[in-house]
Amino acid sequence: MHLKKSLTLALVAIALTAASLGSAQAAEKRDSFRIAWTIYAGWIPWDYVKTSGIMDKWADKYGIDVEIVQINDYIESINQYTTGQFDGVVATSMDALSIPAASGVDTTALIVGDYSNGNDGIVSKDAKSVAELEGKTINLVQLSVSHYLLARALEENGLSEPDVNLVNTSDADIVAAFQGNTVRTVVTWNPLLSTVAETPGSHAIFDSSQIPGHIKDLTLVNTDTLEANPALGKALVGAWYEMMTDLGADTAKGREVRAYLGEASGTDRAGYEAQLDGMKMFYTPDAAIEFISSDQAYEAMDSVRQFSFEKGLLGEGAASADFVGIEFPGGRVLGDENNVNLRFDTSYMQMAADDAL
């Protein structure tokens, strides 16, 4: 998937020390903002939003300036957001919970862009099913969504983590490792997943389409910043859905956009479209709202928070998975209602759906 690194308590601790500073800086009315993004099929559209002039158009409409900044290190981008260096960032729902929200930074999921629907998976040279992984060594980026995917796959097949041996492996090394003889099973994300699956004698035995809705890709903003500056939310959402109208269209313009994003992500239009096929994209705000308001999304996030707690990703102060409150549309809350730090707020997407931006 994107340039994920292992999540460590050290990173969370670093974020925590600056969380109060970030919040203090955020809660004021401003006219200039910075949003960080990293390369992944569901987030690279922000590059097109920037270079096409769509972002400037919407920012001008609301009298603000929005700088869209590419960061090469995914986890570092979230840490920088958490410490107040950016007003927004792209992240998975698990990482949104375990880094900024767990560090005390009140964060709003402004846009629910998609969920992984095959772009994350398990490939093995030895096992032809998840059940056959028992006793096997598995290489993956530990404490990432790959780790979460594996945990769910094992659970659904009557196994658990102690039944396998995990080896932490950088995403930069995983393809080369699997193409050798020593590494026999890997868990990874596209485009790496497609590459390892092409290795002779390998078997794709589980992917994220079997846990739909669990690996959500979000555009996050600081809640205090958003409340003080609703123009930021309107500009970002307006720009995003203008772009999405073309991205999902079977038109010359749509093909042009997908070709641009393919080249920007190191492939071509066909390669980028193949990555889009591995995601459930929400091309319209109505579709995103329907999903994130569903029991499916709520239950999936409950599973993610339980995993995050079990792996220590909610920090040393977390006595249970309820430590961080997660608010859904309609006021439903998972966890501590007095410590809500992750919010799925559909109000701006609803404005887009109502053509009210």
Q: In what helix (H) or strand (E) does residue 37 lie, and over which residues does it extend? A: strand 32-37
CA-derived radius of gyration, the chain: 20
Of 252, 213, 231, 237, the C-alpha closest to 46 is 237
Q: Return the C-alpha torsion angle 281, 282, 287, 290, nearest 10.
A: 80
In total, the chain counts a number of residues equal to 357
Separation CA 262–CA 273 (nearest Å):
8
Q: What secondary structure does DSSP assign to 169-188, as a single string?
A: --TTTHHHHHHSSS--EEEE
Q: Where are the beta strands (DSSP E) in 62-136?
A: 65-70, 88-92, 107-116, 120-124
Residue given tokens 């701006």 in the structure block: 348
Q: Is the dihedral of CA 164, 168, 169, 171 positive or negative?
A: positive
For residue 10, pLDDT over 50 is answered with: no
Which 3 state secondary structure label does DSSP give 235?
Answer: helix
For residue 15, pLDDT over 90 is answered with: no
Write the pLDDT tens digit of every residue in 19-29.
444 444 447 99
Q: Are 173 and 183 in contact (CB under 8 A)?
A: no
pLDDT of residue 13: 45
Separation CA 206–CA 210 (nearest Å):
7
Separation CA 127–CA 159 (nearest Å):
14
Instruction: Name the band, by pLDDT with cuts 50, 70 and 90, for residue 240.
Output: very high
Model-level pTM? 0.89
Write the pLDDT tens digit of every residue in 188-239.
988 889 899 999 999 999 999 999 999 999 999 999 999 999 999 999 999 9
Cα distance between the two ends of the chain: 32
Phi/psi class of residue 349: alpha, beta or left (left: φ > 0; alpha: ψ in -120 to 50)? Answer: alpha
- 230 CB-near residues (< 8 Å, 6+ apart): none
Separation CA 346–CA 353 (nearest Å):
10
Most confident of 5-9, 73-77, 225-229: 225-229
Report the amino acid identity of residue 250. D
Residue given tokens 């930074």 in the structure block: 105
